[in-house]
Amino acid sequence: MLLPTSDFAGLSAHWYRIADSLLAKTRVELWVYCPKTAEPMISGNKWMKLQYHIKLIQQQQYRGFVTFGGAFSNHLAACAAAAELFNIKATAYVRADTIDRQNPTLQFCLAKGMTLIATDRQTYRQREQADFLNMLALRHPDCLIIPEGGSSVLGASGIAGLNLTDTPAGPADVIATATASGGTLAGLITARSQQVHSNSSSEIIGLAVVNDPSLPVKVTALLKNNAAHPAPWRIVATAPDQRYAKCAAEHIDFCCEFALNHNIALEPVYTGRALCKLYQMIAAGEFAPGSRISFFHTGGLQGLAGLYYRQLINQQQYQILSAATVG
Ligand SMILES: Cc1ncc(COP(=O)(O)O)c(C=O)c1O
C-alpha cells in the first residue's frame, strides 16, 4: 500500500538555546534547531530532502528509486528507511569495492530491503555525468534517480519549507548548517529569500565539510530563481586540509564536550565539525555582540556506529555521544 507523504506522522521540530562561557563572553546567542520524525534515520535534513522525491515517485507511479552514497552514508540509511515506510523499491550504488555486511549502515540498508551495488571509485565519480545517468535510466526504467545526498532541486525545495529564521527569541541574524552536496544550503537560502518579512541583514552560512571547489556552483544551480529577495550567503571551509569523513581528534573532542555539557548529540563528520568551526568563528569575534545564530542540526547520528565500527572513535567516546538524548 502506498502512503501519501502527508501521512508520514511525527514530524516535529525543537529549538534549544545553548548557554556557555564563550557565548556569554562574546554576547552571541546560539540556537540549535532539531527536526525529528518518527523514524530516527529520517530526522535532521533527511525527510525534508526526500519528501518531494517520494511524492514524485508516487505521482509518476515509479516502482522506486536509484541513488548513490558512501558506505557509511546517512543519505543511504534515510533512503532505505523511507523506501520501507512508503513501500517502494530502493537501489543504491555504493562507493565501495565490496558490500561489507558487518558495516552497520549497510546492514541497516539491507535489512530495509535496499539493493546495494558495490561501485568502484572511478565509476562512482561519473554519478553526475549525463552519459552515466542515461545508462542508469535505461537499466532502471521504473525508477527515479535521486542524486547523492538527495541534493536536487526537489531536495532543496523540501528544505525550503523549514523556517530557521524565527527562533523562539526572535529573528536570527545568521543561519548556519553543515554543507556537503549543497542541497540543504540551497534550500535554506531559498527559504530565507522567500520570506517577505525578511530581516535583510541576516546571512546564511554553509560550513563545508568537504573540500569541493565546485560547491558554490552546485548550490547556485539548486537555487530556485523565483526568490523575491536574494538572501546573502557564503560557504566557509571547516578544515581545508582535512578530507571528508576523516574525523579529527579536535572534532571528536568537541562533540563529546558538547554532549556532556548540553546533552545534544553530534557526530564529527557533519554537525560536530560544522559547529566546531562556528564556535571558532564566534571566538574569533566574527559575529557582533548581540548576534543571534540559528544552527541546523541536520541529524546523521546513525554514522556514529560506523565510526565506532572503524575504530575512528573509541568505546568511551561512542558511549558519551550515544548517551546524549537530544539531536
Ligand atoms: C548529517 C548531515 N548533515 C549535513 C549534510 C549536508 O547536507 P547537503 O549534502 O545537503 O549539503 C548531510 C548530507 O546530507 C548529512 O548527512
- Helix intervals (H) in the chain: 21-26, 46-59, 74-85, 104-111, 121-124, 130-139, 153-159, 183-194, 215-222, 249-262, 271-283, 303-309, 315-323
Instruction: Give dist(CA 190, CA 273) in Å, integer.
Output: 24
Residue with the nearest Cα to atom 14 of ligand 1?
149
- Collapsed DSSP state (helix, strand, coil) of residue 24: helix
Q: Which of 237, 230, 249 is nearest to 180 (CA)?
A: 237
**Hey, which CATH number is domain 46-152, 3.90.470.10, 1.20.1070.10, 3.40.50.1100, 3.40.228.10?**
3.40.50.1100
Residue with the nearest Cα to atom 15 of ligand 1?
300
* CA 7 vs CA 3, 42, 317: distances in Å: 7, 15, 37
Q: What is this structure's pTM?
A: 0.94
Tell how far the Cα of 79 is from the centroid of ligand 1, in angstroms: 13
- The pLDDT of residue 2 is 41
Q: Which of 80, 76, 99 is nearest to 89 (CA)?
A: 80
Q: Which fold has domain 5-41+154-323?
A: Rossmann fold (3.40.50)
- The pLDDT of residue 9 is 52
For the chain, what are the domain ranges? 5-41+154-323, 46-152
Average pLDDT over residues 54-80: 97
| Grid cell for residue 148 | 547523492
- The pLDDT of residue 201 is 65
Mean pLDDT of the chain: 92
Tell how far the Cα of 145 is from the centroid of ligand 1, in angstroms: 18
- The pLDDT of residue 84 is 96
Residues 262/22, Cβ–Cβ less than 8 Å: no
Q: Which of 40-49, 54-63, 244-253 has the highest mean pLDDT?
A: 54-63
46 pLDDT higher than 50: yes
Q: Say if ligand 1 is within 6 A of residue 181 CB.
A: yes
Which residues is 36 bridged to in the sheet? 12
Domains 5-41+154-323 and 46-152 share a fold: yes
Q: Say if ligand 1 is within 6 A of residue 295 CB.
A: no
pLDDT band with cut points at 50, 70 and 90 for residue 242: low
Ligand 1 atom index nearest CA of 300: 1
Cβ within 8 Å of residue 198, ≥6 positions away: 165, 192, 229, 231
- Count the alpha carbons within 13 Å of 130 in the hemisphere toward its beta carbon: 0
- The pLDDT of residue 243 is 65
- The pLDDT of residue 4 is 45
